[in-house]
C-alpha cells in the first residue's frame, strides 16, 4: 500500500462496491437465480434415463453443439451432465455482458466523464482506479461463482458431485473475471468508452464464432480459444480444473498488461489515438436523420457485418447438420435420394427456426440503442442545442424511429443472407434464399413491436428506457431455452416472438402479422403523443 502507484486502492475498491452496489446486486441476483432456478427445474424435467437420452441425442447434434457447446464425456449421461452441457456456454456469455459493461464504465467511462480526473487529483495512486476496478470485479465474480456452486449443491441434481459443482460455479466466475480483464486491457488501447465497448464485443464475437466452428469441426482446437475453455471443464465427468487455471493465468497477464499501459499513458489517451477530422461538415450531414446515422454509423456497420458473419458461420455448418445419412447410411436406400434431400432441408429448417430468435434479438439491440438515443442523448445534454433549433419533436422522434427500424431490419436481413451464403458455400444443393426470406418476413412484425414499445417508453417514461433491452433479453432466454427447460407455454406468449413459432418450418401467418403490425403502430402513435407533450430533461 505504500507504493504510490497503488495508493488508496482498497479505499477505492470499497467505494466502487458501495457506488455500484445496486447494479452489482441486480446482475448477481439475476444470474444466480437464473442458474439455480434452471438447475432446480432440471430435476423434474430430466428425471428418467429415457428423457435424458432423448435430450442428449439433441444436444449432440451439430446444431445444438454450435449453440451450446460440445457435450463432454460419454454415456451414461446424468441430469447433471445435461445441465452442465446446456448452461455453461450461455452463462459464460451472460458473464461477458455483465463484466464488459461494468469494467468499461468504471475505467474508461470514469475517464470520459472527467470523474477520474477529480479522483486522481487526490492522494490516489495512478493505477489505483484500474486495480480497484479489477479487484471489485474479482470479488463479484468470485461471489457469483461461489453462489452458483452453492445453488448446485442445493439443487442436488442426479449425477452431481461437490468437486464438479465448485468447478462449474467457480469456473464460470473465473470466466467472468477473464472477460473483465479482456475489456480492461482493450479499454487501455482506445481512448473512449464507446470504442472500448465496440472493440470488446468484436473480440468476443470473434471468440464466439471461432468456438462455434471448432466445436463442430475440431473440438481439440477449441483449447486455443479463451472463450472455449469453459467447455473444457468436463464437469461431472473428468472435472478438469486446468481451464480455470488457464483463465486465471490469462486474466493475470491481461491485468498486468493493462496496468502497464495505464502506467505509461496520459489520462484520457489511448494507444490508438483519436485523429483530427474534417473542418467542415460534409454535405450529407444536414439534419437529425443524418446526424443520428453519423453518430451510430460504426455501431450499425459493426452489427450488420457481425450478423452477416455470424449467419455465415452458422450456415457453414449446415452440411454437417443437414446430413442424416451420416447417422443413418441406410436411409438413402430406404426412402430415395430426393426424400433424403427433403429430410435434410427439414432438419436445417428446424435449426434455422431456433436461430431465428437469436438473430431477431441480436438485430433488435442496435435498433433499441438508436431509439433510446432520444433518452441517452437527452440526459447527456447532447440534444439540448438541437431542441433550440427549428426542428420539431415529431421530426426527431421520426428520425430515430426510422433509423432504428431500418437498422434492425437490415441487421436481421444480413443474418439471413449470411445463413444462405454460408450454407451455399458448403452444400451441393444449397437451401434456397426464399426459406430464409420466409423467416425474415415473419420476424418483421415482432421486431417492430419491440422497437415500437421502446419508442413508446422513450416517449413517456424515458427513465425506464432500459426495459426494451430486458424484454428482448427475456425473449432470447425464452426462445433459446424455453423448450429445453420445459417452460410453460404461456411464458413464450409474453413476447411477440411467441406467436411466430417454428418459422421457417411453418409458413408466416398473415393474420398474426397484421395484428402485430397493428399493435406496433398503436405503440408508435402513443409514443409520438408522449414525446410531444413531455418535458425534456437536461444534463444538469
Partner 1 sequence: MMNQNNNAILHIDHLQKNFGKFQALKNVTFDVYPGEVFGFIGPNGAGKSTTIRTLLGILRASGGTATLFGKDVYKDSVSIHKRLAYVPGDVYLWPNLTGGEIIDLFLKLGNTKHNRKTDMMIKRFQLDPTKKARTYSKGNRQKVALIAAFSTDADFYIFDEPTSGLDPLNEEIFQQSVMELKKEGKAVLLSSHILSEVEKMCDRIGIIRSGEIVETGSLSDMRHLTRTVIEFQTMQPTTELQTLQGVHNVTVGTNGLTTFSVDSDQMSYVMGYLASKQIVSLQSTPPTLEDLFMRYYSSNEGR
Residues that bind partner 1 (CB under 8 A): 112, 191-192, 194, 274-282, 285-288, 291, 294-295, 380-382, 384-392, 533-536, 538-540
What are the DSSP E strand ranges found in 218-376?
A: none
* C-beta closer to partner 1: residue 253 or 533: 533
Of 39, 172, 183, 177, nearest to 107 (Cα)? 183
Angle at 307 between CA 305 and CA 308, to 5 degrees: 60
* C-beta closer to partner 1: residue 14 or 286: 286
In sequence order, what are the residues at sequence separation of 6 or more whose Cβ sits closer than 8 angstroms to the Cβ of residue 433?
A: 417, 420
Nearest approach in angstroms of CB 460 to partner 1 is: 14
* C-beta closer to partner 1: residue 342 or 387: 387
Nearest approach in angstroms of CB 426 to partner 1 is: 39
d(CA 95, CA 152): 18
d(CA 195, CA 183): 11
Please list the alpha-helical segments (H only) found in 20-127. Answer: 21-45, 49-60, 62-68, 79-104, 110-113, 115-120
* C-beta closer to partner 1: residue 270 or 311: 270
Bond prior to 407 in cis (omega within 30° of 0): no
* C-beta closer to partner 1: residue 81 or 191: 191
C-alpha cell at 100: 464488459
Nearest approach in angstroms of CB 344 to partner 1 is: 47
* C-beta closer to partner 1: residue 114 or 249: 114
3-class DSSP assignment, residue 7: coil
* Long-range contacts of residues 160-167, Cβ cutoff 8 Å, at least 24 apart: 160/78, 160/80, 160/236, 161/236, 161/239, 163/239, 164/80, 164/84, 164/235, 164/236, 164/239, 167/233, 167/235, 167/239, 167/240, 167/241, 167/244
Bond prior to 414 in cis (omega within 30° of 0): no
Bond prior to 76 in cis (omega within 30° of 0): yes
Of 470, 183, 503, nearest to 359 (Cα)? 503
Nearest approach in angstroms of CB 187 to partner 1 is: 15
d(CA 88, CA 347): 25
* C-beta closer to partner 1: residue 288 or 459: 288
Nearest approach in angstroms of CB 381 to partner 1 is: 3
C-alpha 451 chain-centroid distance: 18
* C-beta closer to partner 1: residue 270 or 360: 270
Nearest approach in angstroms of CB 464 to partner 1 is: 17
Nearest approach in angstroms of CB 93 to partner 1 is: 28
DSSP letter, residue 228: G
* C-beta closer to partner 1: residue 156 or 538: 538
Please answer whether residues 399 and 289 qualify as being in contact, where contact means their C-beta atoms are separated by less than 8 angstroms: yes
In sequence order, what are the residues at sequence separation of 6 or more whose Cβ sits closer than 8 angstroms to the Cβ of residue 494?
A: 474, 478
d(CA 181, CA 202): 15
* C-beta closer to partner 1: residue 123 or 388: 388
Please list the alpha-helical segments (H only) found in 372-432. Answer: 373-379, 384-387, 393-426
* C-beta closer to partner 1: residue 430 or 462: 462
Nearest approach in angstroms of CB 367 to partner 1 is: 20
Nearest approach in angstroms of CB 522 to partner 1 is: 24
Secondary structure of 247-276 in HEC code, one letter for each residue = HHHHHHHHHHHHHHHHHHCCCCCCCCCCCC
Nearest approach in angstroms of CB 192 to partner 1 is: 6
Nearest approach in angstroms of CB 293 to partner 1 is: 12
Nearest approach in angstroms of CB 218 to partner 1 is: 41
Nearest approach in angstroms of CB 388 to partner 1 is: 4
* C-beta closer to partner 1: residue 223 or 382: 382
Alpha-carbon separation of residue 52 from 43, 45, 56, 77 (angstroms)? 11, 9, 6, 7
* C-beta closer to partner 1: residue 395 or 514: 395
Bond prior to 303 in cis (omega within 30° of 0): no
The crossing angle, in degrees rounded to 10, of helices 288-315 and 337-371 is 150
Amino acid at each position: 500500500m505504500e507504493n504510490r502507484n497503488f495508493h488508496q486502492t482498497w479505499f477505492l475498491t470499497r467505494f466502487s462496491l458501495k457506488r455500484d452496489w445496486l447494479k452489482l446486486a441486480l446482475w448477481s441476483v439475476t444470474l444466480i437465480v437464473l442458474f439455480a432456478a434452471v438447475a432446480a427445474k432440471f430435476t423434474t424435467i430430466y428425471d428418467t434415463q429415457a428423457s435424458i437420452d432423448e435430450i442428449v441425442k439433441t444436444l449432440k447434434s451439430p446444431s445444438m453443439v454450435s449453440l451450446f457447446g460440445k457435450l463432454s464425456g460419454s454415456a451414461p449421461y446424468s441430469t447433471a451432465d445435461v445441465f452442465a452441457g446446456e448452461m455453461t456456454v450461455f452463462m459464460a456469455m451472460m458473464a461477458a455482458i455483465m463484466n464488459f459493461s461494468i469494467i468499461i464504465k468504471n475505467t474508461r467511462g470514469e475517464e470520459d466523464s472527467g470523474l477520474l480526473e477529480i479522483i486522481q487529483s487526490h492522494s490516489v495512486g495512478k493505477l489505483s482506479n484500474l486495480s480497484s476496478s479489477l479487484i471489485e470485479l474479482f470479488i463479484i465474480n468470485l461471489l457469483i461463482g461461489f453462489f452458483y456452486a452453492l445453488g448446485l449443491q442445493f439443487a442436488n441434481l442426479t449425477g452431481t458431485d461437490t468437486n464438479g459443482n465448485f468447478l462449474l460455479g467457480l469456473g464460470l466466475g473465473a470466466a467472468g473475471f477473464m472477460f473483465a480483464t479482456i475489456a480492461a486491457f482493450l479499454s487501455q488501447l482506445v481512448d473512449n468508452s464507446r470504442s472500448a465497448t465496440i472493440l470488446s464485443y468484436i473480440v468476443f464475437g470473434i471468440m464466439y464464432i471461432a468456438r462455434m466452428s471448432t466445436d463442430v469441426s475440431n473440438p481439440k482446437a477449441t483449447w486455443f480459444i479463451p472463450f472455449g475453455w469453459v467447455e473444457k471443464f468436463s464437469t461431472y465427468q473428468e472435472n478438469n480444473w486446468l481451464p480455470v487455471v488457464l483463465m486465471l493465468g490469462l486474466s493475470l497477464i491481461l491485468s498486468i498488461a493493462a496496468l502497464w499501459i495505464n502506467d505509461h499513458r496520459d489520462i484520457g489517451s489511448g494507444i490508438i489515438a483519436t485523429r483530427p477530422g474534417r473542418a467542415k461538415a460534409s454535405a450529407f450531414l444536414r439534419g437529425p436523420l443524418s446526424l443520428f446515422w453519423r453518430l451510430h454509423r460504426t455501431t450499425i456497420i459493426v452489427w450488420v457485418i457481425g450478423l452477416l458473419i455470424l449467419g455465415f458461420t452458422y450456415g457453414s455448418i449446415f452440411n454437417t447438420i443437414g446430413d442424416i445419412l451420416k447417422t443413418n447410411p441406410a436411409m438413402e436406400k430406404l426412402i430415395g435420394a430426393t426424400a433424403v434431400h427433403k429430410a435434410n432441408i427439414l432438419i436445417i429448417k428446424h435449426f434455422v427456426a431456433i436461430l431465428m430468435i437469436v438473430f431477431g434479438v441480436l438485430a433488435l439491440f442496435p435498433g433499441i440503442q438508436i431509439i433510446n438515443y432520444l433518452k441517452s442523448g437527452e440526459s447527456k445534454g447532447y440534444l439540448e442545442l438541437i431542441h433550440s433549433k427549428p426542428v420539431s419533436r415529431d421530426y426527431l422522434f421520426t428520425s430515430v424511429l426510422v433509423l432504428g427500424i431500418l437498422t434492425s431490419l437490415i441487421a436481421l436481413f444480413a443474418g439471413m443472407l449470411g445463413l444462405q451464403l454460408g450454407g451455399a458455400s458448403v452444400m451441393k444443393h444449397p437451401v434456397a434464399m426464399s426459406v430464409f426470406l420466409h423467416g425474415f418476413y415473419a420476424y418483421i412484425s415482432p421486431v417492430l413491436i419491440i422497437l415500437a414499445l421502446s419508442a413508446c417508453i422513450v416517449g413517456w417514461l424515458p427513465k425506464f428506457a432500459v426495459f426494451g433491452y430486458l424484454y428482448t433479453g427475456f425473449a432470447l432466454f425464452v426462445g433459446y431455452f424455453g423448450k429445453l427447460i420445459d417452460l410453460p407455454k404461456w411464458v413464450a406468449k409474453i413476447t411477440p416472438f411467441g406467436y411466430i413459432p417454428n418459422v421457417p418450418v411453418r409458413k408466416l401467418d398473415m393474420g398474426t402479422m397484421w395484428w402485430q403490425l397493428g399493435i406496433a403502430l398503436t405503440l408508435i402513435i402513443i409514443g409520438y403523443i408522449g414525446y410531444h407533450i413531455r418535458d425534456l430533461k437536461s444534463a444538469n
